[in-house]
Structure 1
């Protein structure tokens, strides 16, 4: 798989996750079914989801910059370091998802974060 293809796959994954977080934020998905079942109120959910949406937008922005740099054959060490941080974030999140009380979050969340971690490592490595 090329880095370009890995980036395109990440755009699809993060786009789907962004839609998922908006569905939670606007309460189309009950908040007690996410965040490992540990949220206690709508206000708490709004705070967590706002943070998640902002983090996902940031990750997509960084990956867009990486994609453009890749097309123009321009290295950017700062972007590569950020993608390594994303890989670490997704790796830690994989372990966190293993403790979810919701079976869908356990299975799909774990699978998503594992795939995202692997793709980020692939994208960031030289």
Structure 2
């Protein structure tokens, strides 16, 4: 069975940290209405109020994902990643897999063409952090 190396997991954790941080900024821009709500959530939002609710949830989730990426790296550097953090990354991977499907059927071409590959990659690389990791001393 494939078991990513510490180097692969370190790179993955850092990539996720950066992407989730940038996504958090994107959601802040959306909440500030710098990005029009018609381009968000597959073009399915009906009002500013709905946008505020959905983007607030997205921002909270992304900040949580940033924190989890940071925690993963800290645990890995200490030699053992606990199962609960790996379960969280399994959840994150599943969320981005479902998001990829949603992006494929989005009303806006921008979301389909831009967000689909991003969420697909996030799903795959998040999954690499689900597998058990113990620091090998050999």
TM-score normalised over the length of structure 1? 0.95
Q: Is the 8 A contact 2:42 2:107 kept in 1?
A: yes
> For 1:61 and 1:32, how far apart are their aligned partners in 2?
29
1:89 positional shift: 0.8
Q: Of residues 106, 111, 114 in structure 1, which corresponds to 2:117?
A: 111
Alignment: residue pair count: 126
Runs of 4+ in 1 over 4 A off after TM superposition: none
Larger Rg: 2
> For 2:109 and 2:122, how far apart are their aligned partners in 1?
19
1:75 positional shift: 2.4
Q: Aligned pair 1:77/2:83, yes or no?
A: yes
TM-score normalised over the length of structure 2? 0.87
> For 1:75 and 1:86, how far apart are their aligned partners in 2?
16
Q: Aligned pair 1:66/2:90, yes or no?
A: no
Q: Aligned pair 1:49/2:49, yes or no?
A: no
RMSD after superposition: 1.1
Deviations 1:50-105 (Å, cap 9, x if unpaired)? 00000111111112111100111122110001101111111111001001111111
Q: Of residues 10, 30, 51 in structure 1, which corresponds to 2:16?
A: 10
In the other structure, the counterpart of 1:20 is 26
> For 1:103 and 1:23, how far apart are their aligned partners in 2?
20
Q: Is the 8 A contact 2:30 2:36 kept in 1?
A: yes
* Structure 1, unpaired ranges of 5+: none
* Structure 2, unpaired ranges of 5+: 1-6, 133-138
SS in 2 for 1:123: coil
> For 2:107 and 2:21, how far apart are their aligned partners in 1?
25
Which of the pair is proportionally richer in helix? 1
